[in-house]
Every structure is written in structure tokens, then in C-alpha cells.
Chains A and B, each alone.
Chain A
Amino acid sequence: MSRRTWEIVLPASLVVLLAFVPKISADIPRLFNGPLNSPGTLQLLALCLLFGGVALTYDLLFGYTGLLSFGHAFYFAVGVYFTAIALTKWHWGFGPSLLFVAALGLVLPTLIGAVSLRVGGIAFAMVTLAVAQVGAVLVIKNPRGWTGGEEAFGTDYAALPDAFVGVLNTKNLYWLALVYAVAVFLIVRWAVESSPGRIWQAIRENEQRVEVLGLHPHRYKLMAFVLSSFLATAGGVVYLLLQTGPTPHVTSADFTLTLLIMVVLGGAGTKWGAMLGGVLYTYLNNRLGAVGDSSTVQGLPEVLRVPLSEPLFLLGTLFILIVFFAPGGITGLATRGRRPTSMRQLESSLRAERAEVTAPVQTTEEGA
């Protein structure tokens, strides 16, 4: 078969295989706590697929368009919180709530992006960080008791469709997550290979050149921003369904940084990298806790046991090692761990930005 055919057949087979997982009652010891079709395992797999998708939405911004955003979690959180609020606090139906969140997912990034994309590089990164902080603050502030503040509140189950409620229906949620991941992958692939998509990559490479060619980079950046944020919001909705209710954690800066880690772990700006990173990170984050509780680790001297039982410590360290030895992430290991193109280009655009931001005062011309 030709390469092109393989590129379609292989992933398609994978999707089909994944679709059948809830029917497989095989036990994979060490990797999972229960058989594949048990609710616990399906929940974990669903989360992995979900975050594979969400990581890819972030890669669209960072790896493809070269926009370093520290506030991507904000749009995800919008999906999580507004769905929960509409259902539980405003007592809307499921359909209207979804429509409302979808509208928000388009309008908010358009407005916010139009303003924040007027600056680039580090300044843009800071603005996105600040926007996300606003979200975090608003959630804690708990206006009119809607967001629940620091404590989680439970989503009103009655408002959700029956198919998504109850432990026995975890497989439906699993399929939903699978659909989400596949949809995000296809949409991003299509977008990146379309003509606006090529301009995104051109922008990442050399924004000035794009401008000189008469195209307005701002417009295209906004497109990428809105698309990626909308898809993240959709991911937020799915996430809410997978959980019992929203929690403030999704608004934290830590959470966006987690997305960044996922993307770099897998390989920024590559076809499969972000997804792979999202799946792997979610899995590790969940399972490393079990490793830490295992008898082997518990038996170690305290100096080793304490750090090793903390999943985030392991993940943070792993991340540092990846950045050092394989900045191209896992997919980059195939190309011998060289620095990925996306990073090189993001680096030079940041450096150009820095030169502008920290340029010394201009001198008067000669005439002494």
C-alpha cells in the first residue's frame, strides 16, 4: 500500500479498535486497575482521549502558529463552568446550555483575541496569563453563588441526558471522548492543511514576511486563536460530563502549564505529538500515584520514597529531562531528538520581539 493509504488506514484501524474497547473485558495487569471495560478503566481512558484532544487544541496555537499562550485553560474552564452553571444554577435544559456554551466559545475568544493579539511574543503571553487569572479570580469570588467558590459543586444530574448519567453509562462517556478526540484531530488536520493553515505556519516562521506580502497576520492569528479556543471549550463540556462537577483547578495557571507540558512531551507542531503527549501525561498522572503507593516504593528509604510517591514531582522531573535531552518530545526521538522546527522558529520570533521590547533609546543622527 502507498504511504498515503497507510496514513489513513492505520489511524482508522486504531479508532475502530478504540471504539470496541468497552466490549473487551480483558485484564491488563499493571497498566490498569481493572478489566478494560470496567467503569474505572473506561473513565481513565476517556480522560486520556479527552486530554489528547485538548492538548492538540493547544498545539494549534503554540506548535503551529507560534503563539505562546499561558491562558488556554481559560477557554477550557469556560466550557466546564458555564455548562455546569447553566444546568445547575440557572436550571436550563441540556440543549440550550450547550448552545449557550458554544456561543460563548466563539464570542469570548473573538473579543479577547482581537484585543490581546495586538501584542506579540512575551507581552501576548502575559496578557493571556492575566486573562486566565481573571477567570480564576472570578471563580473564587463566587458571584451570586454561581461558581461555588473554592468548593466544588455537583452538576445537577437531572438536567443531563440519561445516557450520560450513572456508572454503567461510563462507556457512553468513553465513546463521547473518543468522538471528541477524533473530531479535534480531523478538524485540526483539515485546518492546518488549508490555506489559512499554511499562513499560520508562515506566521510562526516569519511574521514580518507575511505582513510584507500584504496578508494581515492579525486576522489569521485570530482565526487560529478562536478555533483552538472553541475546541478547548468543547473539551471542557466533555470534561464536565466526565466529572461530578466543576472545580477551580481548571482555571489555574498550573493547568495551562500542564497543557504545555503535554504538547512538548509529545512533540510540538507535529501531527501526532500533542495527542500522544496528552494521552501519556494523563495516564501517567493517574497511574504514577499507584506506583507511589506500591509496596516497592513504600519500601524505599525516606529520601527516595517521599519524592517518588508524588506524581507531579515525577512528571516535572520527566519534563525537565525531556526538555534537556529530547526537546522534540517523544515523536522527536525518531528524528534523534533534534530541536523541533516549531521551537526554533518560535525562539527567533521571541528574540526579535525581545530586541524590540528591550531596545535602547534611539540616538540622534550625526552632526557633531
Chain B
Amino acid sequence: MSTFVLLTITGLGLGAMYFLIASGLSLIYGLMGVLNFAHGFFLTVGAYGTWWMELHLTGIGSIWLRYMIGAAFGIALGALVAGVVELVLIRPLYQRHIEQVLVTVGLAIAGTALVQAIWGADQRAFVTPPWLNETTDVLGAKVPNDRWLEIATAAVVFVLLQLFLRRTRYGLIIRAGVENRSMVQALGIDVRKAFTLVFAIGGVAAALAGALSNVYFGSVTPERGTSLLIFAFIVVVIGGLGSLGGSAVASVVVGLSQQYANYYGSTGMGEIVVILLLGVVLLVRPRGLAGAVAT
């Protein structure tokens, strides 16, 4: 029983990280029609930004504070990079979706290579606040505390994004734009500003996932963005392109399935089960669990 509880919570923790990445991907695709392969790079930017800042805050004693400031820096950096990427690389290619996708591919490769060039391809250890390394006893299971952080963060981000989509004007524009971009233009609204905003939001969420992944894995490495990205894509498709709620549900399903299958099956079974799940969903319901309504 305690194993089951442990698996469930760690599965939710994994799902939490998938959600953070998938949410941005889903909105970007839903609104702009761009399959953003560079999203993993945004995660890497967040991860390395957090790590770098933490390393350099030698004056501050509290590791928690260093982590928080590091994460804030990483997130700001992620937002900035994402926004600039949209303005410089994506916007000029307006309406040319294939080229936009290709450009993100090039960016993913060049960006990861750049990070590798600067800090090396090997993973670097990450100094984690001690509490996150300890465990809490839940129904007999010893749950690593960082899972709580991830789950809480994802939940907060989900709520904030929902509030943003439902209560703000830009949220309204984005929800409408996911449905029918040209009609939004025909209402006199310049959707392109929403594009940059959505990219920046995606950058924030991905960078946040990066900061969290440093803790989850205890290290920072250049390829983490790419490896997590593939699962995030799967989550997005299963949940339904453009649907935030769909991504949320799908991340939970994928995270849990992966954990259970990896334990009750064998190592590697988790990934295969997830992929089979994708195949089944695509054949039975190509629109994904929720179709595309950006809520």
C-alpha cells in the first residue's frame, strides 16, 4: 500500500512537471499553429539560469533564499528569451507555419549546443534546499518532499492560467484566437501581440519546470529539455491541442501511468505504456481528450 501511495505521489510530481511544459506548448499551438520545438530550450534556459544564479549568490546564507532568487531569475530569463524568440524568429514568418516549426527546430539544436559549449555536456550537481531532500511519511510511504513543491507549483500555475484566461482581456483574446484567429483580427484586434504574450507565458512555465527539474533530478544538464519535451508533446496531444484543462488531465494520466508501469512492469515499460496510450488516443479520438477550447 505504501508503495502505491509513493508511486501515486511521485507520479503526480512527474505529471506536474509535464503540465508546466505542456501548458505553454498547448496554448502556443492552439493559438498560433506553431509546434514549438524550442520549448525544451526554454526549460533549459530556466534550469541553467536558476543554477547559475544560485551558484553566484555566495553572499546569501540561506539555501532556500538562494533557490528562490535563482528560480526567479531563471523564470525571468525564460520569459525574456521566449518573448525575444517570438519577436525575432516567429513573428516575421507570420502565416508560414512550416517555416516557423523548422525555425524552432534549428533554435532547439543551436540553443542546446550553445549551452553545452558554455557549461559542458555533463550534468552539474545542483544544490538543493535540505527540506526538499528529506521525506515525509504519508500512510507509510516515504515521499520525497520536492514532489510537494512540484505539485503545488503546477496547481498554482493552473489556477493562475485559468484566471488569466477567464478574467482578463488578453485571456479572452487568446481563447477566441485559439478558435478562430482571423475572426479576432476582423474584430480589430492585433492578435500578434497575443502571440508574443503566449510565447512569454510558455517561457515562464517551461523555465519554472526547468527550475523544478533541477531539484527533481538533483542536477542540471543540457539535454533535459529535449527529453522532457517529447513527453510534454505527448501530453499535449493526448489532452487536446489548445486545451489547458485537457493538458492538466493528460499530465496526471501520463505521469501516473509512467510511474505505475515502470514499477509494476519493468524499467522502460512506463515510457512504452505512455506511447501506446498516445497511439490509442490518436486512433480513437484524434482531437484528444478535450478538443481545442483554450480553457
- Does chain A bind chain B? yes
Q: CB of B60 within 8 A of chain A?
A: no
Q: Are A360 and B286 in contact (CB under 8 A)?
A: no
Q: CB of A351 within 8 A of chain B?
A: yes
Name the segment of B12-20, B45-53, B109-117, B150-158 touching the other chain: B109-117
Q: Are A137 and B287 in contact (CB under 8 A)?
A: no
Residues of B within 8 A of A131 (CB): 275
Q: Are B113 and A310 in contact (CB under 8 A)?
A: yes
Residues of A within 8 A of B266 (CB): 141
Q: Which residue of A lies closest to B37 (CB)?
A: A257
State which of B96, B107, B237 has its C-beta within 8 Å of the C-beta of A126: B237
Q: Are B282 and A127 in contact (CB under 8 A)?
A: yes
- Size of A's binding interface in residues, CB under 8 A: 51
| Chain A contact surface mostly | helix
Q: CB of A21 within 8 A of chain B?
A: no
Interface Cβ pair total, 8 Å cutoff: 146
Q: Which residue of B lies closest to A311 (CB)?
A: B113
**For chain A residues 121-143, which have a beta carbon within 8 Å of chain B?**
122-123, 125-127, 129-131, 133-134, 137-138, 140-141
Q: Are A347 and B109 in contact (CB under 8 A)?
A: no
Identify the B interface with A (CB < 8 A).
Answer: 29-30, 33, 35, 37, 89, 92-93, 96-99, 102-103, 105-114, 116-118, 178-180, 226, 230, 233-234, 237, 241-242, 266-268, 271-272, 275, 278-279, 282-283, 286-287, 291-293
A-B contacts, 12 listed (Cβ < 8 Å): A115-B283, A131-B275, A137-B268, A253-B230, A264-B102, A310-B116, A313-B113, A316-B111, A343-B98, A346-B98, A357-B287, A357-B292
Identify the A interface with B (CB < 8 A).
Answer: 115-116, 118-119, 122-123, 125-127, 129-131, 133-134, 137-138, 140-141, 253-254, 257, 260-261, 264, 306-307, 309-313, 315-317, 319-320, 323-324, 327, 339, 343, 346-347, 350-351, 354, 357-361
Known contacts A126-B233, A357-B291, A361-B293, then 14 further A-B pairs from the complex at CB < 8 Å, ordered by chain A residue: A122-B237, A126-B234, A129-B230, A130-B234, A257-B108, A261-B106, A313-B110, A316-B107, A320-B107, A320-B110, A346-B98, A350-B97, A351-B33, A351-B97
